[in-house]
Structure 1
Amino acid sequence: MGSHVILGGGIAGLSTAFYLLKQPSVKRIVVLESSSRLGGWIDTTRNKDGTIYEHGPRTIRPVGPQGANTLEMIEELGLVDSVRSIKYGHPSTTNRMILKDGKLHKLPADLISQFKKLPPFQSPLAYYILKEILRPAKKDSDVSLYEFINRRFGEDVANYAVDPLVRGICAGNSREISVHFIAKYLHQLEQKHNSIVKGYLIDWLKYKINPEPKTAAENCNIVKQARSEHWSVWGLENGLTTLTETLSQYLTANGVEIFTDYHIDDMKISNGSCILQGGSTLTCNHLTLALPAFNAANLTSGINGELSSTLESIPFVDVGVVNVMYKGNILKNEAFGFLVPSNQPDPILGCIFDTCSFRQGNRTILTLMMGGAWFKQLFQHKSKEEMVEIGMNSVSKILGINQTPMDIKAKILPQCIAQYTVGHLDRVAKARQIIKKEKLPLSLVGSSYDGVGINDTILSARRSVLN
């Protein structure tokens, strides 16, 4: 393969370089980042008093092959001692709340609660699950997540379980987001067995009789520890930026060339190689676009119009993130936080109780999430200061907080989360098929394509290198 250039120094680009180092055929690896910092949307602020704010993701799930793959990387990077785990049963794993009519309601979190009628639901969750067996199936290749959950479990579950969950994960509108975003397996069960519950029971029996083989990553000590100790999520000491910092240091120590503040003015393909014009001219045998799809679309516009327009069709949303610090423990309930369904009038998406998960001395730190699919509607003509005031008034009223914050730090993250709207898988498949058909020396990796989470992004990078 010779030389390989990666555009983008976020977790996708850095992970791609990490896996390329394992390929003997790759002789030179270059990472080019247009901004002044590495890490992308993984962004930690470390305050002078020792407290930290996370402006992007803050924890990572260990479950499944994706989770094991990330933990395997953590072990290789020597970060095991920096891992801070949260086990199932911790208040942040059992207490998750939904706002309805100005009141917070705890979501059912154990088997017994599934059989109780708990607001905001009109019936016990077990009722919706049992009723699902009798609901008629509908054959389709893709549908909005809201429509799918509504037809299988009813409006209550769609409005107060899935809708706010989507707002919390990708700041998106469940009426537009594809069922494949977080419920691909459930949709497959319906399509194959005409019922999620029946299909799940059939698969469960098959798995018990013939378990799937474990991936190599499952043999890592830290993965075994996560499984035996029943981790729900994990983070890193001094914030998740520790991951991208350590990863970039590892790459540099192993010969990867990393440049920040590097802008590409033009890109061409000639004789099977990519030629990049920027601060200098770079030629490589293969180019990985570890960029948001809209940036990749701009760069490929002169190479293949159909590829560029396909990438341009992937939508993104802006998100406002407000980190707030108070003195002492001011919360009435220990919990992960709360989410706000889109049918409620409150102007925030949700609020994370950061210091419930990881203590930071005698402090309460909250993170407000605002905007997303509703950013233009709510905040397009407002300043950042006005956005903060709206968010603070809302969360103070909901949580009954009268205390003045010690500190507030707000950021508006433009086009930060890709929206996997209906047809997303087809769009991504089409883009990669164009690359394959035209024999373009390009790869697409990152949260624009194969999942918005850190685990998904890292696994996307690994697969792009191995395939």
Structure 2
Amino acid sequence: MLLFFSQPMKTVAVLGGGIGGLAASFYLCKNPQVTKVIVLESSSRFGGWLWSLRRSDGAVFELGPRGIRPAGAVGHNTLNMVEALGLDGEILPVSYSHDASKNRFLYINGQLHRLPSEMRTIFQTVPPFSRPLAFSLMKEFLVKKGKEADESIHSFVSRRLGKEVADIAIDSMCRGVFAGDCKKLSVRSCFPALYNAEQQRGSLTLGMLLSSGSAPVIPPGNLAQRAKKESWAQWSLRRGVETFPEAITEYLQQSGRVELHKNAAVKQMIPTTSGWKVKTEDGEISADHVISALPAKALSCVLPPSCRSLTQQLQDISAVTVAVVSLEYDGSILPVTGFGHLIPSWEDPGLLGIVYDSVPFPQHNRPNGQSTRLTVMMGGAWFQNVFGDPEEVTTEVFLTRATEAVRCHLGVSGAPRWSNVVLHTDCIPQYYLGHFQRIDSMRGFIRTNNLPLSLVGSAYDGVSVNDVVFSGRTAVAELMGGSAEAT
């Protein structure tokens, strides 16, 4: 499809300077066939949702993703990039034996309940569940394979593991991962490993034990090998996860082949005989190929009329808004130690969960004096119903709701010594039923019309940091006529 790189002196424009656009630019820079990369970012900073608030006293608060998982091909891929950027010494690993990995809680009926995390506990009745999880797992072997092309996560889990597991555990988990409603989200797109396990093995348990699907093979570098040896569950960086996109940006600046433009919102894409003319407020650039890491709806607003079919499908990809409240309390105020707790939608639709940031990453606490950092997440798929129009809600509303939740859920009576509120509008795409068909159709349109356009980012093939980074690698590999494994 994309063979223009057989000719010299070609330019690629990357739209969006979040982690997806930066990752794609990183891989483009490593290919000698690419002579020029132009990155256009609409805001005043690079990094997108990877955003670390660094206070002058040394404390770090994550305003977006915090811990990144090292497992699997996509986890290896990210760690390989971190290693290539020379960030090995900045890694803060959290092992599976750490309290933050073993202890995760649900808040139900005014109480914190620790989720089962050890083999012996699946044979016990652990509140809030009414029977041992082993019963659900044994029954799961007898459940027939689903015949539908797609299914909601709630329906899938109810069918295979029972309604109680879906209502309590899966409802909460989907709020923590996607800030979304498990009754609307697609199991095939959100959890492809579960879908493939049923389709190929007829059982989730067998599928997990024997592995299912055709996952890419990414050889682990030294850092990824260390992660496996030391049994990391997640990792961060000493100055926060934003260090990662900052290091990529510095690498791109030093490459001599990349132009980085901030405050350069794309206004229009015009097809030309050799590629695209991309217009911004301050001018225009010409490119042979465009890699779009823009949110789906943002891309839909700048495509030409000839791409009407693609534009409509992009507009159909919804995203939810999340309020993030960072809180700091004096002393050690947590009644339990763990990663945090989630709240099912039927318990409190507006409150997604509370992360106990000081437990997995105490290195981000202020160096002088004991303190506890927490993050309260609110809204998601329930934002409009609970809070109304995002543009009309004041920060005081979120702060009051957050501190009240900390008081009720964790028994913390005092006021925080410091707080910060940020509203992330349309930050997490929602993969509703039929998402896989929509993505296939969009990429089919691009191929059929021979458009010099690639789609990367969280709107398409996974919302995690690892998925988004890997989407950048995959797009560049396909552009060069190869596979992601060979990049």
Q: Give the equivalent residue in structure 2 for 1:397.
A: 408
Residue 349 (structure 1) aligned to one of 346, 352, 356: 352
Equivalent-residue separation in structure 1 for 2:198 and 2:225 (angstroms)? 33
TM-aligned CA distance change 1:198 to 1:79, over 3 Å = closer
Secondary structure at the aligned position of 1:354 is classed as coil
Task: Give the C-alpha shift of residue 11 in structure 1.
Answer: 0.3
RMSD of aligned alpha carbons: 1.7
Equivalent-residue separation in structure 1 for 2:101 and 2:378 (angstroms)? 22
- Opposite residue 238 of structure 2, the aligned amino acid is E
Matches within 5 A, 1:212-361: 215-218=217-220, 220-255=221-256, 256-278=258-280, 279-345=282-348, 347-359=350-362, 360=365, 361=367
Task: Give yes or no for contact 1:268–1:303 (8 Å, CA) kept in 2.
Answer: no
TM-aligned CA distance change 1:369 to 1:301, over 3 Å = farther
Per-residue CA deviation, residues 384-419 of structure 1 (Å, 9 max, x unaligned), is 211221222122111100011011100111001100
Secondary structure at the aligned position of 2:248 is classed as helix
Task: Give yes or no for contact 2:150–2:188 (8 Å, CA) kept in 1.
Answer: yes
Q: Give the equivalent residue in structure 1 for 2:426.
A: 415
Task: Give yes or no for contact 2:38–2:260 (8 Å, CA) kept in 1.
Answer: yes
- Opposite residue 235 of structure 1, the aligned amino acid is S
Secondary structure at the aligned position of 1:104 is classed as strand
1:180 aligns with 2:188: yes
Q: Give the equivalent residue in structure 2 for 1:461.
A: 472
Task: Give the C-alpha shift of residue 193 in structure 1.
Answer: 4.0
- Opposite residue 245 of structure 1, the aligned amino acid is E
Q: Give the equivalent residue in structure 2 for 1:434.
A: 445
1:5 aligns with 2:7: no
Task: Give the C-alpha shift of residue 301 in structure 1.
Answer: 4.6
Q: Give the equivalent residue in structure 1 for 2:483.
A: none
Secondary structure at the aligned position of 1:180 is classed as helix
- Opposite residue 147 of structure 1, the aligned amino acid is S
TM-score between the two structures when normalised by the length of structure 2 = 0.92
Equivalent-residue separation in structure 2 for 1:176 and 1:134 (angstroms)? 26
Matches within 5 A, 1:47-62: 47-62=55-70
Task: Give yes or no for contact 2:92–2:238 (8 Å, CA) kept in 1.
Answer: yes
TM-aligned CA distance change 1:462 to 1:140, over 3 Å = same
Task: Give yes or no for contact 1:269–1:303 (8 Å, CA) kept in 2.
Answer: no
Task: Give yes or no for contact 1:353–1:366 (8 Å, CA) kept in 2.
Answer: yes
- Opposite residue 439 of structure 2, the aligned amino acid is V
Per-residue CA deviation, residues 318-341 of structure 1 (Å, 9 max, x unaligned), is 000000000111101111000001
TM-aligned CA distance change 1:377 to 1:19, over 3 Å = same
TM-aligned CA distance change 1:384 to 1:181, over 3 Å = farther
- Opposite residue 248 of structure 1, the aligned amino acid is T
Equivalent-residue separation in structure 2 for 1:58 and 1:134 (angstroms)? 39
Equivalent-residue separation in structure 1 for 2:183 and 2:319 (angstroms)? 15
Equivalent-residue separation in structure 2 for 1:244 and 1:41 (angstroms)? 10
TM-score between the two structures when normalised by the length of structure 1 = 0.95
Task: Give yes or no for contact 2:271–2:304 (8 Å, CA) kept in 1.
Answer: no
Q: Give the equivalent residue in structure 2 for 1:97.
A: 105
Residue 155 (structure 1) aligned to one of 163, 187, 190: 163
Larger deviation: 28-37 or 132-141? 132-141
Equivalent-residue separation in structure 1 for 2:108 and 2:304 (angstroms)? 46
- Opposite residue 275 of structure 1, the aligned amino acid is K
Task: Give the C-alpha shift of residue 214 in structure 1.
Answer: 9.0
Matches within 5 A, 1:61-72: 61-72=69-80
Secondary structure at the aligned position of 1:276 is classed as strand
Task: Give yes or no for contact 2:403–2:415 (8 Å, CA) kept in 1.
Answer: no
- Opposite residue 399 of structure 2, the aligned amino acid is V
Q: Give the equivalent residue in structure 2 for 1:74.
A: 82
Task: Give yes or no for contact 1:347–1:390 (8 Å, CA) kept in 2.
Answer: no
Task: Give yes or no for contact 1:38–1:244 (8 Å, CA) kept in 2.
Answer: yes
Equivalent-residue separation in structure 2 for 1:413 and 1:345 (angstroms)? 20
Equivalent-residue separation in structure 2 for 1:56 and 1:418 (angstroms)? 14
Equivalent-residue separation in structure 2 for 1:346 and 1:271 (angstroms)? 51
Task: Give the C-alpha shift of residue 280 in structure 1.
Answer: 1.9
Q: Gaps (5+ residues) in structure 2?
A: 479-487
Larger deviation: 133-142 or 91-100? 133-142
Larger deviation: 321-330 or 300-309? 300-309
- Opposite residue 233 of structure 2, the aligned amino acid is S
Q: Gaps (5+ residues) in structure 1?
A: none
TM-aligned CA distance change 1:116 to 1:301, over 3 Å = farther
Task: Give yes or no for contact 1:371–1:379 (8 Å, CA) kept in 2.
Answer: yes
Task: Give the C-alpha shift of residue 213 in structure 1.
Answer: 10
- Opposite residue 31 of structure 1, the aligned amino acid is V
Identity %: 36
